[in-house]
DNA sequence: TGAAATGTTGGGGCG
DNA sequence: ACGCCCCAACATTTC
């Protein structure tokens, strides 16, 4: 456990009341798929607290009103929480902070989910960083060695009336589109740490190269756990250092690469903090004049995984069925949406947000702007992925494609990346033709980009 | 954390 | 033996 708010609360008080508030209006934004994760995560947390003779209090509604009610009913004198960084949540929490402070309560917030707070990493000119490498260099130079805080002694429990998790109906029922999730994911703090251990053991050494091969389990798959706070980046950082000490043969470049990915997460949080409209507004204002096409039909093809490009469609099916998509494929499908289809990146970000279990406002928004070319330290617009070349390079045997597109099971490897080029007899019958010609689409995109200058 | 177009080089076939 | 062409392989630039 690495929960500074809880650690401080248990250390300071004679009794604590752990509470989770589902605040749909002004709390952290939840994607549709994430309600499934939230259900299981709260269930696991509740079980863990039970083992300490504590009861998790569940409440739904406006956070301020709920807290105010609990404070009065249970004679509460202090409120502690770990900070969230979504702009609207920052605003909400500022109000809550002041409200209870004025009432004479002790109110404290803590850093539970970042290695560095956004305001701790600034340039010499006191500006926030807009280039990742400079940002990360500064972090590595100044970053304090992370330390974990744990509950040392559980004080007595305050029992409050709790709503029932089942009544919240967070799980989808008809239809149960989450049926595939449980095959792939185990939710909760314990599962998160088992995942980390497994990755450090089997995945880290080869991370540098395997991370790009979607057919292989080369990534950590920790992102949903990180998002929901089931594991902290500090825990990951320290475990990584430990693994390096324990195994002198461990690949340095792989470990550093993985650290850098945590760095990107922090960079995204910093961008969102200083550019609060990152999820809707072009970071680079030049892109405000970009001639995007609002093609709903093409958008639907992309969402359903029916573009005719196997690597794109496999990714979109993986997303729909498992609530996740491999990072390499995220870049490919995002490039396809914004450059081959010229659909605004916000539409892609929205779809990702509603379908990803790891949907995260900072990461998702920054990632989409990065691909679209409008972001901070973004890929230049003319860097257009070729879905066929990418497929050949990173899924050479079509393993990933065949896993998610069963209708291509019998297509020979030679044609798996571009089945429309197969001779008549080998062409799959129940697979669509490409909705655009990549070569032509690329030229159109470059012409559209010219208009920005 | 690209890809395509264009430029350069060097080896082999061939007259 | 020599120059010429072809073109693959690699490097550079351009989008």
Lowest mean pLDDT across A96-110, A172-186, A321-335, A340-354: A172-186
Residue A58: alpha-carbon gap to chain centroid: 24
Residue A20 in this model has a pLDDT that exceeds 90: yes
Q: Chain B: nucleotides under 7 Å from a protein CB?
A: 1-4
A292 is catalytic: yes
Q: Which two tokens stand for residue A328?
A: 């390499």
Question: Average pLDDT, stretch A214-227?
Answer: 98
| pLDDT class of A319 with cuts at 50, 70, 90 | very high
Tens digits of residue pLDDT in A92-138: 999 999 999 999 999 999 999 999 999 999 999 999 999 999 999 99
Q: Is the CB of A446 under 7 A from strand C?
A: yes
Predicted pLDDT of residue A381: 92
Question: b vs e for A349-368, b when ≥16 Cβ sit within 10 Å of the residue's Cβ?
Answer: bbbbbebbbbbbbbbbbbbb
Query: What angle do the packed helices A233-246 and A252-274 form, to 10 degrees?
Result: 170
Question: Average pLDDT, stretch A40-57?
Answer: 97
Question: b vs e for A403-439, b when ≥16 Cβ sit within 10 Å of the residue's Cβ?
Answer: ebbeebeebeeebbbbbeeeeeeeebeebbebbbebe
Residue A67 in this model has a pLDDT that exceeds 90: yes
CA–C1' A22–C4 (A): 79
Predicted pLDDT of residue A189: 98
Q: Which pTM was predicted?
A: 0.96
Q: Is the CB of A382 under 7 A from strand C?
A: yes
CA distances from A299 to A87, A161, A303, A305 (A): 28, 46, 6, 10
Rounded-to-integer distance, Cα A322 and Cα A353, Å: 14
Residue A417 in this model has a pLDDT that exceeds 90: yes
Predicted pLDDT of residue A453: 78
CA–C1' A125–C2 (A): 67
Predicted pLDDT of residue A205: 96
Predicted pLDDT of residue A371: 96
The answer to whether the beta carbons of residues A268 and A366 sit under 8 Å apart is: yes
Cis preceding linkage at A400, omega within 30: no
DSSP strands (E only) in A169-314 = none
Exposed (0-12), middle (13-18) or buried (19+): which is A375, by Cβ within 10 Å?
Answer: buried
Rounded-to-integer distance, Cα A144 and Cα A348, Å: 37
Question: Average pLDDT, stretch A190-203?
Answer: 97
Residue A145 in this model has a pLDDT that exceeds 90: no
Within a 13 Å sphere around the CA of A43, how many CA atoms are in the beta-carbon half? 16
């Amino acid at each position: 456990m690495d929960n500074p708010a809880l650690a401080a609360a248990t250390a300071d008080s004679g009794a604590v009341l752990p509470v989770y508030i589902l605040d749909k209006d002004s709390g952290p934004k939840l994607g549709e798929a994430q309600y499934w994760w939230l259900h299981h995560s709260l269930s696991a947390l509740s079980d863990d607290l039970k083992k300490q003779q504590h009861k998790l209090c569940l409440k739904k509604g406006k956070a301020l009103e709920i807290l105010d009610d609990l404070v009065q009913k249970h004679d509460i004198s202090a409120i502690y929480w770990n900070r969230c960084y979504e702009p609207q949540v920052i605003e909400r929490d500022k109000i809550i902070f002041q409200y209870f402070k004025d009432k004479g309560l002790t109110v404290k917030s803590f850093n539970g989910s970042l290695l560095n707070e956004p305001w701790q990493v600034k340039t010499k000119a006191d500006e926030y960083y807009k280039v990742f490498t400079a940002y990360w260099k500064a972090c590595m130079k100044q970053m304090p060695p992370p330390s974990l805080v744990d509950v040392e002694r559980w004080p007595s429990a305050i029992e409050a009336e709790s709503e029932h998790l089942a009544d919240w109906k967070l799980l989808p029922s008809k239809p149960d589109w989450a049926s595939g999730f449980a095959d792939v994911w185990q939710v909760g703090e314990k599962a998160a740490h088992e995942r980390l251990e497994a990755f450090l053991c089997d995945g880290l050494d080869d991370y540098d190269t395997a991370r790009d091969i979607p057919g292989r389990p080369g990534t950590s798959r920790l992102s949903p756990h990180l998002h929901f706070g089931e594991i902290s980046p500090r825990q990951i950082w320290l475990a990584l250092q430990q693994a390096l000490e324990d195994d002198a043969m461990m690949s340095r470049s792989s470990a550093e690469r993985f650290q850098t990915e945590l760095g990107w997460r922090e960079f995204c949080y910093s961008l969102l903090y200083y550019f609060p409209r990152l999820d809707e507004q072009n970071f680079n204002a030049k892109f405000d004049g970009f001639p995007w096409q609002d093609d709903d039909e093409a958008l639907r093809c992309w969402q359903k995984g029916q573009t005719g490009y196997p690597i794109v469609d496999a990714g979109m099916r993986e997303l729909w069925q498992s609530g996740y998509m491999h990072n390499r494929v995220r870049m490919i499908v995002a490039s396809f949406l914004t450059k081959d289809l010229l659909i605004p990146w916000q539409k892609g970000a929205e779809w990702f947000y509603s379908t990803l279990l790891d949907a995260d406002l900072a990461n998702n928004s920054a990632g989409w702007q990065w691909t679209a070319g409008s972001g901070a330290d973004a890929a230049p617009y003319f860097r257009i992925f070729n879905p066929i070349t990418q497929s050949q390079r990173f899924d050479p045997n079509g393993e990933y494609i065949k896993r998610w597109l069963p209708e291509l099971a019998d297509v020979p490897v030679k044609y798996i990346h571009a089945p429309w080029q197969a001779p008549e007899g080998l062409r799959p019958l129940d697979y669509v033709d490409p909705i655009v010609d990549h070569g032509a689409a690329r030229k159109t995109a470059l012409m559209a980009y010219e208009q920005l200058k």
